[in-house]
Amino acid sequence: MSPARRLAGVKSSPVRDLLALTQRPEVISFAGGLPAPEMFDVEGWSDAFAKASDDRRNLQYGTTEGDPVLRALIAERMTRRGLPTSAQDLLVTTGSQQALTLVTTALVEPGDVVAVEEPTYLAALQCFQLAGARLVPVASDEHGMVPASLAEVLEKDRPTLVYAVPTYANPTGRTQPAARRQEIASLVAAHDVWLVEDDPYGELRYRGEPVPPLATYSDRVLYLGSLSKIGAPGLRLGWLRAPASVMPAAVIAKQAADLHTSTIDQAAAAVYLSNTDLDAHVTGLRAAYRERRDTMIEALPATVPPGTTWSDPDGGMFVWLRLPGEVDTAEVLRDALKHNVAFVPGAPFFAVRPDHATFRLSFTTNPPEDIREGMRRLREAFRDR
Ligand code: PMP
């Protein structure tokens, strides 16, 4: 059997492949962007699911747009974060990953150009490739997407869609400052294109003041949110915030994909958001993750070879590094695995011009003592080379 042509060239995610490898209990993995499992609010979620499943309506089919109570609660939360939102602006999705697929299905024709920050989230690259899009990279620096590079791409390549993770990005940990957001929003508005703001990490801030979502600066921005990093990823609950001109197409795409997101999961999330202080939970996550980030950053100078550079993220889950010279971090990973420690090589995060000397470390999954031990193992792996 040969698969459909649109799958040609779309590779399996190396992060997902690595996840299998790093399930070995002896491996300390900095590879996957996994939340800390011991931080999951097991009691809160099990209460919410018990309450939700008491009502037989929550075992029935639901509307495509999503549970009205959940949509209202998410709208209220987004409004409190500075992005005025009503329930009608929202479509509940099966993780924000599905929101990305729905936006792509709704807006991107095969052969269209999608402009992406380089490097960027690799499952977004897969999603655009699967839709038959041509990917054009936009340069990024320590403050994320560079407006001058975006302006050039908008002029020259005429993209249909621009994709960015403006806050605590995957894989770089970088954040666009407010002034840059304003500039980027003006550019997309002037060129009449859509920008997807993918924001699963925005609430995980460890220092500085919150930066307003890019969507506050323009209604040409489609915003994707998620409960994965502040609630739990196994819920598979995310959302799309889109203007009325885009929403009907996204809703049709959603109907064709899965009719609607699990009724019982949405109802449980609605119970959870009504009964639990999610802000207090997020405050706890931020304290724990801040310590983990600090532990990793402190260990780095003694771990990596001299001349290595790395990002110093204000939030999120990732540190992004570059080794000096022309090293291939896929080879370093093989040595690291011999020492039972794992990370993700950086090349797959590049749409077009991979930099093989880059790699990504996730600091959220492991407690500080395991981070210290993992970094010791990584140092050994570098010493072997
Ligand atoms: N976007 C980015 C930038 C991500 O890093 C992730 C998760 N790794 C997602 C989207 C998907 O998140 P969800 O679990 O909400 O589908």
Same domain membership, residue 239 and residue 207: yes
Same domain membership, residue 262 and residue 131: yes
Hey, whose CA ends up nearest to atom 11 of ligand 1? 97
Q: Does residue 307 carry a pLDDT above 70?
A: yes
User: And the tokens for 146?
Assistant: 């560079």
Same domain membership, residue 368 and residue 324: yes
Nearest atom within ligand 1 for CA of residue 121: 3
- Where a domain ends, among 275, 294, 311? 275
Q: Does residue 1 carry a pLDDT above 90?
A: no
Amino acid residing at 168: Y
**pLDDT digits over 238-294, tens only?**
999 999 999 999 999 999 999 999 999 999 999 999 999 999 999 999 999 999 999
pLDDT band with cut points at 50, 70 and 90 for residue 149: very high
Same domain membership, residue 66 and residue 25: no
- With the most atoms of ligand 1 within 8 angstroms of its CB, the residue from 228, 230, 235, 240 to mutate is 228
Same domain membership, residue 63 and residue 203: yes
pLDDT band with cut points at 50, 70 and 90 for residue 301: very high
**pLDDT digits over 68-118, tens only?**
999 999 999 999 999 999 999 999 999 999 999 999 999 999 999 999 999
pTM of structure: 0.96
CB 44 within 8 A of CB 373: no
Same domain membership, residue 328 and residue 231: no
Residue 373: CB atoms within 10 A of its CB come to 15
Nearest atom within ligand 1 for CA of residue 228: 14
Same domain membership, residue 174 and residue 154: yes
Nearest atom within ligand 1 for CA of residue 33: 8
Q: Where are the alpha helices (DSSP H) in the chain?
A: 14-21, 42-53, 68-80, 95-107, 122-130, 147-157, 178-190, 247-258, 263-275, 278-303, 329-338, 368-384
Going from the C-alpha of 381 to that of each of 181, 334, 337, the distances in angstroms are: 40, 9, 8
- Where a domain ends, among 275, 308, 326? 275
Q: Determine the Cα angle at 330 with ends 326 and 333, to 5°.
A: 115
CB 342 within 8 A of CB 19: no
Same domain membership, residue 222 and residue 73: yes
Q: How many CA atoms lie within 13 A of 148 on its CB side?
A: 2
CATH of the domain at 322: 3.90.1150.10
For residue 197, the 8-state DSSP code is E
Of 175 and 385, the one with more pLDDT: 175
Same domain membership, residue 341 and residue 260: no
Nearest to 222 by CA among 242, 239, 202: 242
CA of 305 to the centre of ligand 1 (A): 31
Residue-averaged pLDDT of the chain? 96
- With the most atoms of ligand 1 within 8 angstroms of its CB, the residue from 97, 165, 349 to mutate is 97
pLDDT band with cut points at 50, 70 and 90 for residue 6: confident
Same domain membership, residue 236 and residue 98: yes
For ligand 1, whether the C-beta of 233 sits within 6 Å is: yes
**pLDDT digits over 309-325, tens only?**
999 999 999 999 999 99
What integer pLDDT is reported at residue 14 of this predicted model?
A: 67
Q: Does residue 15 carry a pLDDT above 70?
A: no
For ligand 1, whether the C-beta of 364 sits within 6 Å is: no
Count how many domains the chain has: 2
CATH of the domain at 242: 3.40.640.10
Give residue 209's Cα distance to chain centre. Answer: 20
Q: Does residue 40 carry a pLDDT above 90?
A: yes
Q: Does residue 180 carry a pLDDT above 80?
A: yes
Range of the domain at 292: 5-40+280-384
Same domain membership, residue 244 and residue 160: yes
